[in-house]
């Protein structure tokens, strides 16, 4: 079970970058479905990742800020369901393009790995 965390001990070396990039892609996807605040995004990610998965605030929020800096996300203060003041993240046009690109890259990568593994197992 992957544990997405900053300074995680379960993921090493290059894999960490891969997972960090993956976290960003997943955030973009979640926000693309519906704008949400940080807490909501974290919970949705955990749902997608399955039971036992944990998305730590220590990696989620920096990722959100970095995406915002790169103009892939835009943040603004709004009202939550409980009518509380919360910072909502929405996808920018650039973010939409980046998500499409990352999806293509991930898909072709995954297919290649799948093909490779299938070949090896034969």
Partner 1 sequence: MRRRPDRPTDRDRRQDVRDELAFNADRRALAGRPADAPASLEQDLVQLAAQRDRAAWCRALVAESWHDLRDAVRRLGRAPTFTTGVIGIVALGLGASSAVLRVANDAFLRPLPFTETDRIVRVQEYSRASDGAMRWVDGSGASLEALQGSGAFVAAAALNPLFTAIVGRDAPERISVGAMTAGWWTVLGVRPAVGRLFTPAEQAAGDGAGVMLISDRLWRSRFGGRADTIGTTLTVDGLARSVVGVMPPGYRFPYDEDAWWPTRVNHDQRGFFLAARLADGITVARANDVLDALGPALLRTYPILRGNLPRARLFRDALIGDDGRVVVMIAWAVVLLLLIVATNVAMLFLTRLVSHEREMAVRAALGCGRARQVRHLVLEAWLVFGAGGLVGLALSALAASALVALVPHVLVEETAMASVPADGRVLGLVAALVVICGLLVGLLVAWRAPRIDLTEALRATARTGGPAAGRRLLGGLVLVELALAAVLLSAAATVTGGLRQLETRDVGFPTADLLTWHLELGAPRFQSAAAHLALVDRIESRIARLAGPTGVGMSTVNPLCCGDWGSRVAVDGEPVTTFTANVVNWRLVTPGFFRALGVPLLAGRPFDAHDTPTSEPVAIVDARFARRYWPGSPAAALGKRIKRGSTDAPYPWMRIVGVAGTVEDAGDYTETWYVPYLQEPAASSSDDLHIWFRSADVAVASAAVRAAMRDIDPTLPVIDLRTMEDAKQTALAQRRQANGVALAFGAAGLVLALYGVYALVAFVVARERRDLAVRLALGATGAAVVRQVIGRLVRLGVTGVTIGAILARLVEPLVVRALGARPVAFWLPAACVSVLLLLALVAAAWIPARRVLTVDPVRALADS
Query: Rule CB under 8 A: is residue 106 a binding residue for partner 1?
Result: no
Residue 100, C-beta contacts closer than 8 angstroms, at least 6 positions apart: none
Phi, psi of 105 (to 5 degrees): -60, -45
39 makes contact with partner 1 (CB under 8 A): yes
CB of 4 to partner 1, least distance (A): 11
* 49 binds partner 1 per the rule CB under 8 A: no
SS3 label, residue 6: coil
Token representation of residue 92: 């920018």
Between residue 17 and residue 36, which ones bind partner 1 under the rule CB under 8 A? none
Position 95 contacts partner 1 (CB under 8 A): no
Q: Which of 58, 78, 100, 110 binds partner 1 (CB under 8 A)?
A: 58
Is 84 a binder of partner 1 (CB under 8 A)?
yes
Question: What three-state secondary structure class fits 87?
Answer: strand
Cβ distance to partner 1 smaller for residue 85 or 122: 85
**18 in Cβ contact with 109 (< 8 Å):** no
Which residues, other chains included, contact 79 with Cβ-Cβ below 8 Å and sequence gap of 6+?
Answer: 85, 86
| Chain residues that interact with partner 1, rule: CB under 8 A | 6, 37-39, 54, 56-58, 61-62, 65-66, 68-69, 71, 80, 84-87
């Amino acid at each position: 079970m992957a544990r997405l965390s900053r300074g995680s001990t379960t993921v090493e070396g290059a894999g960490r970058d891969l997972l960090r990039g993956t976290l960003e892609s997943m955030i973009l996807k979640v926000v693309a479905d519906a704008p949400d605040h940080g807490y909501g995004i974290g919970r949705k990610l955990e749902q997608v990742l399955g039971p036992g998965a944990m998305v730590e605030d220590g990696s989620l929020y920096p990722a959100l800020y970095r995406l915002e800096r790169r103009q892939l996300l835009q943040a603004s203060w709004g009202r939550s369901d409980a009518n509380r003041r919360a910072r909502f993240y929405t996808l920018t046009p650039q973010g939409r393009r980046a998500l499409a690109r990352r999806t293509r890259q991930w898909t072709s990568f995954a297919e290649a790995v799948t093909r490779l593994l299938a070949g090896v197992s034969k």
